[in-house]
Amino acid sequence: MKRTLFFFVLLIFSSAVLFSWGGEFDYLLGYNYESEDVNLFQAISTDIFTDAQTDYGYFYGDFTASFFHGISMDASSVFSNPLLTCEKKNDGMLPSYPSLMSGMDRFLLNLNELYYEYSFTDYTLRFGRFKLQKGSGNIYSPSDVLSSQSLFGIDGIPHREAIDGVLLQGFYDYFDMEVYFSPFTKMSFPTSNTMLKTLEGNFYLQAYATNFISQIDFTPIAVIPVKSEYSFQQDYPLDFHTSNFGVKFGFSWFDILWKVAYYRDHFHFQVPQKITQKYTKISTDTTLDGGITIPASSVIYESQSKLIIPSRNVITIDMQGNMTDSTIYYFEGALFIPEDVNTILSLEYNGLTQNDSIKVFKDPVIAKCLFGIEYSGDITGWIFEENEFTLGMELFNSLPEEYFTYSPGFDVFLRVNKDDFDLETLAAVAFTKINDEWKFGTSITGNLIYRGLDLVDVILSASWNYSDEKNHPFYLQKDILNKIAISAIGYF
């Protein structure tokens, strides 16, 4: 409710200024080679932006309407950005989500940005919904902690979402400063193994329950869930503990550009605060609704989970320097100090109850870092002139929204701008430690863009993720798009 009121007031205020309009229209036709049900899909969307300049201020708005056909709900509505009501449901934060009905038509409305910026001596004040400037990293930015991630489902690439709040920028002789405040915490989706690593969706609870029941009755041959309920933490009251804020300083030192920041905010996912499970013994073979057969000497259980959004303190650094005139190097790092959260386990069987407590964050400090080198220029003897060719490589110790595991790896990216063609490619490899073994995963994306037509771009795109381990960040569930597609974008 408070989010809707927040933007309603901003809309009233913005109606007093004179707007200019622009936008784009996008049609996409693709082939999803991961889906067994629906292979062809199409998407039609329009992105409309408006802005206005006053003597001391600037207004900007960005609105998107999209229609999808042939894409599962997982790849459209669940992955969408916040709707126009400025609310975002937490349904996508379940430990595992089913592949819902493929081939459904989905119509989405997104409010991407809507803010007003007021300028005065040495300062600017921006409030509303706005996107933050990313760090130096290409595959992702470890120092960008306030922005949540959303896998929109069309291009298979996580998108950084805007924040709702206030930004104060100050510009001084030797440094600049940014102060952030946001009373809202947005959820990321998907959150690489977050729930799997916090007791839900893996076999930890089943093993725990088997041991508990074995001590008081018998050893079940199977522990099978039949019902799960989740109580998510909803919109906060506006107070200090539930708000997000930060301060960032930028300066130059030893010919290196530095950005150092401190944040006191929240993770973009929810973790169980308490899990209650009630177990029932099955004495004979039993068939449940849906055709699932439960063998004798098993137990079934109903689960209720209450979830919260944990807070954190974060220190980030982003530095960038020149190796040569055409080559830069950069480093991004973040130290996360999570709130001390314990999950209470309450197991009930035959009138007996056993309670236990498990730490959600086993590491008191979580470190994420990335180092990269990027060459941008010409290639002697080749057809590429200055600023037409960019090649880079990055090393990282984890991936976006990964806080319970580390996935060290590397990526290589290439950007070519020649005549009327742009080529953008990225290939990443990561290794995640699962059950004491390092598991391989890879992600490859590419776009070929033709810009030779007036007010129209034609794009050929492809993406492919592979991992045979469900706990790997690069693993994609069925009906999430591994695809090749062609699209046309018209500008107006």
DSSP annotation string for 389-436: EEEEEEEESS-TT--SS---EEEEEEEEEETTEEEEEEEEEEEEEETT
User: In degrees, to the nearest 5, what angle opens at C-alpha 338 toward C-alphas 333 and 340?
Assistant: 160
The dihedrals phi and psi of 9, each to the nearest 5 degrees, come to -65, -40
pLDDT tens figures, 322-332: 998 889 999 99
Task: Determine which of 173-182, 391-400, 433-442 has the lowest per-residue pLDDT on average.
Answer: 433-442
pLDDT of the residue at 91:
39
Across 14-23, average pLDDT:
69
Q: Which residues contact 353 (CB under 8 A, 6 or more apart)?
A: 346, 347
Say yes or no to pLDDT of 7 above 60: no
Q: How confident is the model at residue 426 (pLDDT cuts 50, 70, 90)?
A: very high
Rg (CA), the chain: 25
CA 162 from centre of chain: 11
Contact indicator for 365, 406 with CB cutoff of 8 Å? no
The encoded tokens of residue 108 equal: 């989405």
| Separation CA 357–CA 414 (nearest Å) | 48
pLDDT of the residue at 6:
57
The structure tokens 């947005």 sit at: 186
The structure tokens 């470890």 sit at: 142
Residue 450 burial (CB count, 10 A): 15
Contact indicator for 427, 442 with CB cutoff of 8 Å? yes
Say yes or no to pLDDT of 334 above 60: yes
Q: Which residues contact 318 (CB under 8 A, 6 or more apart)?
A: 135, 136, 141, 143, 258, 259, 260, 330, 331, 332
Amino acid at 180: Y
Residue 469 burial (CB count, 10 A): 15
pLDDT of the residue at 68:
73
CA 380 from centre of chain: 40
What is the residue-wise DSSP string for 61-95?
EEEEEEEEES--GGGTTTTPPP-TTS---SGGGSS
The encoded tokens of residue 68 equal: 């999808």
Q: How confident is the model at residue 234 (pLDDT cuts 50, 70, 90)?
A: low
Of 16-25, 56-65, 350-359, 409-418, highest mean pLDDT: 409-418
Say yes or no to pLDDT of 35 above 70: no
pLDDT tens figures, 53-82: 888 899 999 988 877 776 554 443 333 333
C-alpha closest to that of 479 among 79, 126, 178: 79
Across 376-393, average pLDDT:
78
The encoded tokens of residue 420 equal: 């009327």
pLDDT of the residue at 436:
84
pLDDT of the residue at 105:
61
Q: Is the alpha carbon torsion for 85, 88, 92, 94 positive or negative?
A: negative
Cis peptide before 190 (omega within 30 of 0): yes
Q: What is the pTM (predicted TM-score) of this model? A: 0.85
Q: What is the DSSP letter of 102?
A: T
Say yes or no to pLDDT of 137 above 90: yes
pLDDT of the residue at 5:
56
Instruction: Please report the domains of the chain, with CATH numbers, ordered by start residue.
Output: 2-491 (2.40.160)
Contact indicator for 238, 314 with CB cutoff of 8 Å? no
The C-alpha torsion from 270 through 276 and 282 to 285, rounded to 10°, is: -10
